[in-house]
Structure 1
């Protein structure tokens, strides 16, 4: 297996070997409770105190306190609670405290959520105010100056987790001093640790949270700096550990691991220097420019961490980019890992005022200061492989470069759908129900194939077909559905009109002002209902097709939100709405099925560009074929005609589950999916532990 290239260091990092060894030693040899007074406890206390002293030195904390905790979220909660409790006490004593809780528009969501939570629970009822940023992602200092007289607490960050943009901490501090603002100030330093020098004691910062897992320590260990004199209220009370700042027996394995990372920082020579990291970033950027024409970087390099690149590519969604990178063994993310599962544009990029398409399709590529020359070289090679695969699949085709295609292609999944019908023999195609969001994709696809567009059709009248028709150089003169006048064999209502597409016929039937397009091979120059293999039905309910199509004709709608991919008149969903119990196969069940059915077919439903850059499955038995999800409807008739066990797989298991469920609804009893996809259901690729 090809080792993975991990370029998602801003989300988390692998644990460095020295940190693993330190954690193991702490569990094996220094397992005492640091609050115990016997020798074993004293040894643990010495480890804890030594780690704290090292952290204080590295962070430039000459006075003030530093407590160990579970990570940044706990540190943020503790800082916000401490500041807001002090504000309530001051207000109750009759002091003026200000009316605003100000936070940067690009802060991690943990900050405004903590402010809103404790503001409500403590009954302060202060107003939350979002501080805008400029087009470079840096705080708008004039806007900050305007609100400081009313500010009770200010929350900013040292470096942004999505873009790597560095805040003007000195500029913010200067405004606080200039205006005499007494607001409490928290600076999220999570992305700063190990990437630039910190001197907290010389700053006006009251609270600074840190998280170990962003810099090669395990998850579940972090730190919070509290400036001397800043108010403090513990989030967790109990046994009085951490000088009563954070009760609970200390996570000694985590502290020891973090101390090993801090020791590497203090000693030097382990992490790459700034100029080397900048060179690595430039090399990655150059490969992205070669691989992905039109790539746009969403943050200026001169104001950002050298370990972070945030970019968008015209015409490509973040999901498409993530999928092809992941198939090539390159781990990246779409914005913040905490919100990657939410299909929404990046609020960080929106706050910077970038165009909507860039905010919705951005990719974050980030590495850590342990990255080396070999890792970056491999990453650049794979980035360019991904670009070649995207060109080969037509997503960034330059024209006339795609292999011929036959059959039915669906664009879109889980919502509005467009359909393309291809005929390789005549090098022609028909577009049905083109959705506006797919127009550029359709144009690139048709031009990349070098096909002639025979028609652009809609199932509803006036569906905005003219723009795409002109772009595909179709002659004017079509009706409201895009259908050309003068087709043969039509009755008075326009039913039975036919369009030849190589050896196939496309027949139009009108039902209550809606068009249905039947597709199949001609029988004596006509297309009877029994010969229709596909029916493109728009928004019509399937039961409206009774008597017009066969029971097994595949019904392809303009939306697949309710019936993914396609349905039929005989299709049945499970009575209880749950998938069949035997639908999901784990690796052992898959091997058993392959032993019993050597003719089984394993169907890779990832997109063709993912399949091109991925590695073949190492399985004993079964034939592996690539049928991207969008081509599923075109392939189903052949499978139904000669059924063999089908096992669908993809990266995570989501797409393959939908494919297997579709086949089961159509009555294909031997359709399965690989549980967990290639991420969980197969042996994972070997990791490069220092590649983050």
Structure 2
């Protein structure tokens, strides 16, 4: 492959938006320049504009088969949804019976615009119906039995023709049969945004009352869409004013948007030489992409059934990799995809995949790859080639099995942090001896850890759990079936003893380091902490303290499990204080807010409960009483999800120096000793990035960096990543732990002319 910044973009996020088709952009530009008249004007320029509008309306009617139904141009799908819901509820309100409880139904996998709009207008109009989600099965199909049972007293039902995350389509004919058999008069809206150009539509032959569409999902500009309204269906204008669109939708019409939309309709209506690929060709593209993905990532899981999905959407997850990791990997290869859910610093999942009942790891790790009908064979071929290179890059970093030689792989040395959701798994490697220990293994990471072990030729001396976990099963046995004579947490029975600050601890050797076990009950009866002791000095010093769920970032672990004890936790906190230092790096089992690691010093500044215990200002009885209140708050926050600890204080946030690209360039010239730190993962470099930064510190190695360079926390560090999101998170973590001169590049290298 060529250098990264010379690679053309392969855009595979068409369900989010599409580029404007060149012919459509030309039509819009010509219209803006020469036929810019107001369609309400009676002069020639106005009449020309009106002709464009009516011509486009006519073609829209042909494309969707609207018959005698109305086509009203809108700003997009969201406006169309509001128009439909407002119209239906205004009419329904006229006929409400005070003695009845009404419902508003929507599919559980609908775009959030639908349920939010239902709730909004339900409240504003005072309809006060119960808003209910229709369940779906594992394939995303709506539960017809549920609909039949709840549709009788429903005022409106909202469903989706094609889902935006999975591409799953509904059988509208079967759905109509279910709805109309029980309630012939209920208002029915079908979101057709993702169906246009991908599914045959003949809306006039259905009893659908309303159907919104959006132009920018199919190569038209943003800001233009339309809504279908069945002949005879009630209508209330969502936008009132000058009376445009026959009084149905006021506001000066978006003529250049309509001109572009007309070009799109022309392409859809063509029988040959169209800019859009046939349905059969789109299926071929999907087959090529899916087969390449399976070859590149053999453990891949597709989150939907291709049998009931449009061919332009692939939704998948790769065990052991978060959606953010795969997005960054593909982005490094100039392939644009999206996650199955919104990315944020907290744990997020796809509500669509959750509704389908898929496992949490699939929902959290989902990737959506979507293309449009204007995609070419050349683009698909190039995308497949780059996907293979992505897999090779992961192999280079020992994250995926690949036929690289040992000399091509980066040798591990130090601490690596893996995360699945809010749970952490730690791998410590003594590079000199190739000895390793794994702490708190996670089932989702088994294959990934095995690959690293084999690739790096590591000698795993122990795989340890800090306690019996309530929120997940340990995968220790899957990783250490060759290690015998261990207790239920993986601690070997044949150990030696070390003495640290008067405490006699069992220990095992990991190369030039000792791993010591410190009982710290409280969160559970069997909770222990593990200390990695550096033997390079005359006296052993704690390099890391893996504290399980004793101390978390901004929180203490729960003590309201059956095997918990707040009193025991109180004593364990005092022991940890006594055996460690204020700046000892604590590595917990959970990181719910992307803060990576912590220290006693950092936690005492924001956790009053912990601070009062360690300073002797809180008695055992008072701690137990206050801890029960905190634990109840965790119960209230977590609902059905098991949280092993929840933040009892606000997430730490710091004023960071944020640089624009131009400011950073000047700053580096004036301050040549400033270290520019690129925090992308090594496999992103393997995709032909120039390595012209002072250091590469990926997020998985951030805690290792803190330990290695924590003695010089005043040195100026400026962090850089692809988008600015990772660099900001990492910079805040460093600032919280005492690094006093931290900045980052706002917007990342994606918006800057920096070495890549």
2:455 aligned with 1:424, yes or no? no
State the shift of 1:405 in Å.
1.3
Residues 330 and 462 from structure 1, CA distance in 2 versus in 1: closer, same or farther, beyond 3 angstroms? Answer: closer
Deviations 1:252-308 (A, max 9, x none): 232222223223323451211111111111100110110111222232323221211
TM-score, normalization by structure 1: 0.86
2:211 counterpart residue number:
208
2:745 aligned with 1:674, yes or no? yes
Report the more deviating stretch, 369-378 or 356-365: 356-365
Deviations 1:518-547 (A, max 9, x none): 4324334x41x4xx4444455359997667
Q: 1:257 aligns with which of 257, 260, 282?
A: 260
Deviations 1:548-582 (A, max 9, x none): 5567654444455589334557769999965345x
Q: 1:385 aligns with which of 368, 386, 389?
A: 389
Q: 1:105 aligns with which of 87, 92, 108?
A: 108
Residues 82 and 571 from structure 1, CA distance in 2 versus in 1: closer, same or farther, beyond 3 angstroms? Answer: closer
Counterpart Cα distance in 1 of 2:258 and 2:107: 30
2:416 counterpart residue number:
409
Residues 280 and 511 from structure 1, CA distance in 2 versus in 1: closer, same or farther, beyond 3 angstroms? Answer: closer
Contact 1:457 1:483 (C-alpha < 8 Å) held by counterparts = no
2:686 counterpart residue number:
612
Q: 1:293 aligns with which of 286, 295, 298?
A: 298
Q: 1:660 aligns with which of 731, 746, 755?
A: 731
State the shift of 1:422 in Å.
0.7
Q: 1:630 aligns with which of 672, 685, 700?
A: 700
Residues 569 and 334 from structure 1, CA distance in 2 versus in 1: closer, same or farther, beyond 3 angstroms? Answer: closer
How many residues are treated as equivalent by the alignment? Answer: 673
Query: How does 1:139-218 map onto structure 2 within 5 Å?
Result: 139-176=142-179, 178=181, 181-218=184-221
Counterpart Cα distance in 2 of 1:170 and 1:465: 44
RMSD: 3.7
1:689 counterpart residue number:
none
State the shift of 1:229 in Å.
0.8
Contact 2:442 2:474 (C-alpha < 8 Å) held by counterparts = no
Counterpart Cα distance in 2 of 1:553 and 1:336: 36
Contact 1:90 1:97 (C-alpha < 8 Å) held by counterparts = no
Contact 1:413 1:561 (C-alpha < 8 Å) held by counterparts = no
State the shift of 1:446 in Å.
3.2
Counterpart Cα distance in 2 of 1:36 and 1:212: 25
State the shift of 1:345 in Å.
3.0
Residues 510 and 346 from structure 1, CA distance in 2 versus in 1: closer, same or farther, beyond 3 angstroms? Answer: closer
Report the more deviating stretch, 449-458 or 2-11: 449-458
State the shift of 1:665 in Å.
4.6
Residues 462 and 443 from structure 1, CA distance in 2 versus in 1: closer, same or farther, beyond 3 angstroms? Answer: same
Report the more deviating stretch, 266-275 or 594-603: 594-603
State the shift of 1:391 in Å.
3.1
Query: How does 1:265-276 map onto structure 2 within 5 Å?
Result: 265-267=268-270, 269-276=274-281
Residues 127 and 45 from structure 1, CA distance in 2 versus in 1: closer, same or farther, beyond 3 angstroms? Answer: same
TM-score, normalization by structure 2: 0.79
- Secondary structure of residue in 2 paired with 1:31: coil
Q: 1:468 aligns with which of 473, 476, 481?
A: 476
Counterpart Cα distance in 2 of 1:273 and 1:658: 44
- Secondary structure of residue in 1 paired with 2:96: helix
Counterpart Cα distance in 2 of 1:136 and 1:222: 29
2:297 aligned with 1:283, yes or no? no
State the shift of 1:213 in Å.
0.7
Residues 669 and 42 from structure 1, CA distance in 2 versus in 1: closer, same or farther, beyond 3 angstroms? Answer: same
1:46 counterpart residue number:
51
Contact 1:413 1:564 (C-alpha < 8 Å) held by counterparts = no
1:353 counterpart residue number:
357
Counterpart Cα distance in 2 of 1:127 and 1:73: 22
Report the more deviating stretch, 162-171 or 543-552: 543-552
Deviations 1:358-397 (A, max 9, x none): 3332221110010001100111111112222233334334
Counterpart Cα distance in 2 of 1:466 and 1:88: 55
Counterpart Cα distance in 1 of 2:79 and 2:207: 22
Counterpart Cα distance in 1 of 2:735 and 2:501: 40
Residues 599 and 245 from structure 1, CA distance in 2 versus in 1: closer, same or farther, beyond 3 angstroms? Answer: same
Residues 198 and 342 from structure 1, CA distance in 2 versus in 1: closer, same or farther, beyond 3 angstroms? Answer: farther
**Runs of 5+ consecutive residues of structure 2 not aligned to the other structure:** 523-527, 557-572, 607-649
Contact 1:221 1:255 (C-alpha < 8 Å) held by counterparts = yes
**Runs of 5+ consecutive residues of structure 1 not aligned to the other structure:** 686-692
Q: 1:648 aligns with which of 713, 719, 724?
A: 719
For CA contacts below 8 A with separation 6 or more, give which structure has more relative contact order: 1
Residues 445 and 634 from structure 1, CA distance in 2 versus in 1: closer, same or farther, beyond 3 angstroms? Answer: same
